[in-house]
């Protein structure tokens, strides 16, 4: 299983602007299978924990504020080479290339529409942060 899943989130900016359906359609059309999905909302403590690796950076507090500003869609996606293929599909954090999800839907480096795990190990950790084991079978 390791290597075949990634954790994804549609962030509050994109959910708020009504892009959820279009973004899910893109994921599916690129061959990702939805293994788990939840429409939810993060409290401050959850957003701080989720992005703890960035604690102390200048963008950390505004990031936490942004991530708690509205509902999100949390997903576990399955595909061969899921982490790398998903990161290619969404594009870079800043100046995402044309054709990527962030190029289409992000409005800035911070308000960048989607999250994606950066390693197989973090995919497992992030999936476990949002979903129970029985939801990931």
Residues that bind ligand ATP (CB under 6 A): 54, 59, 63, 93, 109-110, 112, 115-116, 118
- Cβ proximity to ligand ATP, 36 vs 90, nearer residue: 90
Catalytic residue among 115, 116, 117, 126: 115
Minimum Å gap between C-beta 135 and ligand ATP is 21
In the annotation, is 54 catalytic? no
DSSP 8-26: EEE-HHHHHTT-HHHHHHH
Nearest one of 90, 89, 123, 122 to 4, comparing CA atoms: 123
In sequence order, which residues have a C-beta less than 8 Å from that of residue 103 and are 6 or more positions away? 91, 96, 97
Minimum Å gap between C-beta 122 and ligand ATP is 9
| Secondary structure element (H or E) that encloses residue 40, with its range | strand 33-40
- Cβ proximity to ligand ATP, 99 vs 137, nearer residue: 99
In sequence order, which residues have a C-beta less than 8 Å from that of residue 61 and are 6 or more positions away? none
Largest CA distance in the chain: 38
Minimum Å gap between C-beta 117 and ligand ATP is 7
- Cβ proximity to ligand ATP, 37 vs 111, nearer residue: 111
Q: Which residues are the active-site residues?
A: 115
């Amino acid at each position: 299983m390791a290597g075949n899943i990634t954790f994804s989130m549609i962030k509050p900016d994109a959910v708020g602007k009504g892009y959820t359906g279009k973004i899910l359609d893109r994921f599916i059309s690129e061959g990702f299978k939805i293994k788990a999905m939840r429409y939810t909302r993060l409290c401050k403590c959850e957003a701080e924990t989720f992005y703890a690796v960035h604690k102390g950076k200048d963008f950390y507090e505004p990031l936490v504020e942004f991530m708690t500003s509205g509902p999100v869609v949390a997903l576990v996606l399955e595909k061969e080479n899921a982490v790398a293929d998903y990161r290619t599909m969404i594009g870079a954090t800043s100046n995402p290339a044309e054709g990527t999800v962030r190029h289409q839907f992000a409005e800035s480096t911070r308000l960048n529409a989607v999250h994606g795990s950066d390693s197989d190990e973090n995919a497992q950790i992030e999936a476990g942060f949002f979903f129970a084991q029985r939801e990931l079978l």
